[in-house]
Structure 1
Amino acid sequence: MSSTLYVVSTPIGNYDDITLRALNVLRDVDFVICEELSQGKRLLKYYGIDKPLEALNEHNEATDAEVTADHIKEGADAALISDAGTPVFADPGARLIHIAIQKGVKVVPVPGPSSLMTALVVCDFNIDKFYYAGFLPRKANERIQVLKDIAAMHTVSVIMEAPYRFRPLVEDCLKTFGRKRKAMVAVDLTMPSEKIIRGTLESVYEEYVKSPFKAEFILIIDAPGNI
């Protein structure tokens, strides 16, 4: 390996879900680029891997991505990981990949766990087509406008949000999509505490009110006409 950036998927919760190829790459590269140093250290320590770590996140990617890309261009091999799952989806790394490609660095995907796909395959909706909305705006008026735009697409929609904003998000979805729209919430995927709530937006909301959770989640809303 030489002058290569590997984009490595890591477990979204259960450390048993890592691939053999991901482990081999993490062992062989010169250094690992992670979102947060503490999480990166924890992951590598679990697998008995000792590699230099560089943090690349929302606070420094704009300024440090080019320096990191130059380091790789000079002959180093690096692995880009996120705190959990597949890098770049709602995580840092896109700028680094863009700059690396512009500099002629070889960028290699190492596929594996993804919270997005893990949730989709158990949602019981037709997912031949879907829209990944990611994280929505924090301000209510902006969030509602985005939800209206999503509703106008008439397709399965996938939304991610911080645990403490689940309630306002679903309340806005109720106003936008209607109470009877089919929906599913996947909470703490792959963990012993994993919970999947299926039903309508109304029943999902009622379940949350009855038994609130404070964990990572993905909300999937079905296309209209499938009530």
Structure 2
Amino acid sequence: MNMGQLYMVATPIGNPEDISLRAIRILGEVDVVICEERRQGSTLLKKLGITPKQLISLNEHNEAEQAATLVQRMALGEKMALISDAGTPVFADPGAELIRQAVKMGIPVTAVPGASSLMALLSLLDTKVERFVYAGFLSRSPQERRQELQRLLRLNLPLVLMDTPYRLSSLLEDIEKTAGKNRRVTLGLNLTLPGEQVLRGTVSEIRRMVQDRKAEFILLIH
């Protein structure tokens, strides 16, 4: 019996048109589409006009157990695709354990690249960035978050951060307190969506522009 395969399929981060022809084909062909949450996965696939043969959830709560079951099925010949709620799978999302077990079993793992909020922001910068540090989501605790920021800023490299929409304001406040009000930042808000914005300036200027606004974002500290 032929071994199955695992595809890591990038999906749109906002605009549903940001999906590759290859991704659409793979998602329509595989036996199983694996997503973080069934409801969000189903909604996303419906927008893309894709009806999966089977939809299974894999998240931080069930990954260890679910991965073992899925890998066994792939070992018997099934092909599966992992998607995240938005963007590139595993990048600040579940999936690493699934890949680890698949690789251990000798199952081919293939990337189907596409939308990424990180690359979207970097492509819009008005300054050259050859090296940077991606720190992702910092601690939820304000005190711990500031300590993490202090350690990361000592690296003296551009720093990329993400977080949930409701922590945008508090994150900017923490950056101002640790890096100083004149530290330059670039903030991407709701990238690829009709109302997307890219704000450039000092952290104090960006704080005044944003105030208590909530939006999907990715942030670069220069």
TM range (shorter): over 0.9
Asked whether 1:13 is paired with 2:37, we answer no
Shift in Å, 1:172 = 1.0
Structure 1 residues 23-62: Cα deviation after superposition (integer angstroms, max 9, x where no partner)? 1111111110011111111122223322110000112112
Determine the structure 1 residue equivalent to 2:66: 64
1:32 paired with 2:33, answer yes
Query: Of residues 162, 165, 178 in structure 2, which corresponds to 1:163?
Result: 165
Q: Deviations over 1:87-125 (max 9, x none)?
A: 011111111111111111100000000011101111223
For residues 154 and 93 of structure 2, the distance between their equivalents in structure 1, rounded to whole angstroms, comes to 27
In structure 2, the partner of 1:121 is 123
Deviation string 1:128-149 (CA, Å, 9 cap, x unpaired) is 1010000000111211111011
Q: Is the aligned partner of 1:218 residue 2:200?
A: no
Instruction: Tell me how far 1:150 sits from its aligned partner.
Output: 0.9
User: Normalization by structure 1: what TM-score?
Assistant: 0.93
SS at match of 1:101: helix
Residue 213 of structure 1 deviates from its aligned partner by 2.3
Matched, 1:145 2:151: no
Unaligned runs of 5+ residues in structure 2 are none
* More divergent stretch after superposition (175-184 vs 78-87): 175-184
Please say if residues 187 and 217 of structure 1, whose CA atoms lie closer than 8 Å, have aligned partners that are also in contact.
Answer: yes
- State the superposition RMSD in angstroms: 1.2
Alpha-carbon distance between aligned partners in 2 of 1:165 and 1:26, rounded to the nearest angstrom: 33
Would you say the 8 A contact 1:123–1:220 is kept in 2?
A: no
Q: Which AA in structure 2 matches 1:166?
A: L
Could you tell me the TM-score, scaled by structure 2's length? 0.95
What is the CA–CA distance in structure 2 between the aligned matches of 1:125 and 1:158, rounded to whole Å? Answer: 14
2:17 alignment partner, SS class = helix
Whole-Å Cα distance in 1 between the matches of residues 168 and 48 of structure 2?
33
- Superposed structure 1 runs of 4+ greater than 6 Å apart: none
Partner of 1:193: 195
Q: Structure 1: how far apart are the matches of 2:71 and 2:92?
A: 21
Q: Read off the aligned partner of 1:218 and give its amino acid letter.
A: I
Please name the residue that 1:41 is paired with.
42
- Number of aligned residues: 220
Equivalent in the alignment of 1:103: 105
Kept in 2: contact 1:184–1:197 (CA 8 A): yes
Q: Is the 8 A contact 2:3 2:107 kept in 1?
A: no
Q: 1:112 to 1:135 in 2, by over 3 A?
A: same
Cα deviation for residue 22 of structure 1 reads 0.4
The amino acid that maps onto 2:20 is: T
User: Which residue in 2 is equivalent to 1:55?
Assistant: 57
- Corresponding residue of 1:225: none
DSSP 3-state at the match of 1:17? coil
